[in-house]
Every structure is written in C-alpha cells, then in structure tokens.
Amino acid sequence: MPEASAIPNSPPAAVPPSAPKKGPRGEVLLYARWCKGCRICVEFCPAKVLAMDPDADHPYVAAPEKCTACHFCDTHCPDLAIVVRKLE
C-alpha cells in the first residue's frame, strides 16, 4: 500500500502570504480553451497569483512571481485547465 508521504505534491500546511524573496517557486500555465470560468483557482490561491481577466471569462496569471507551487489550483481545477510546474 503506498505511504501517504510517497504521494507527490502534498501541499504545505500553511503558505506564507507574502511573496518569496528569491522569486517564484512555481510557474502557472492556464489553458483558456478548457477553462469554464468557475473562479475556484482565483478564490482559493493562497498567494493571490490568479485574478479574473476583466476582458474574458477566464483567469489570468496576475502575479506570477508570487507562486509557491502549492498546487492548490491545478489539483482543484475542475477542467484540468491549469498546470503548475515547480521551478528549480
């Protein structure tokens, strides 16, 4: 049986609200064609990386430098329209 700790991408218990000083820890890519605009990613991102695009019905990456690669958005997007890549 797989150990809990062996599951990748376990989110940290708490994400610091301020931007990390060393630059973004993750890169967010959003596929607008699949996004249905539910706003779950925008409302739940702990670092407020995403915001709704006022000219479209999908989010845009408003603050890419703040991404901590917590993976909340890409594991909770109902449309699998977000991919978060950890930056080395």
Q: Which is nearer to other proteins, 8 or 17 (CB)?
A: 8
Binding of residue 37 to other proteins (CB under 8 A): yes
**∠17-7-64 over CA atoms, to 5°?**
30
Distance CA(23)–CA(3), nearest Å, equals 32
Among 20, 23, 48, 76, binds other proteins (CB under 8 A): 76
CB 88, min distance to other proteins, A:
14
Binding of residue 87 to other proteins (CB under 8 A): no
Residue found under tokens 């890419």: 64
Residue found under tokens 């599951």: 7
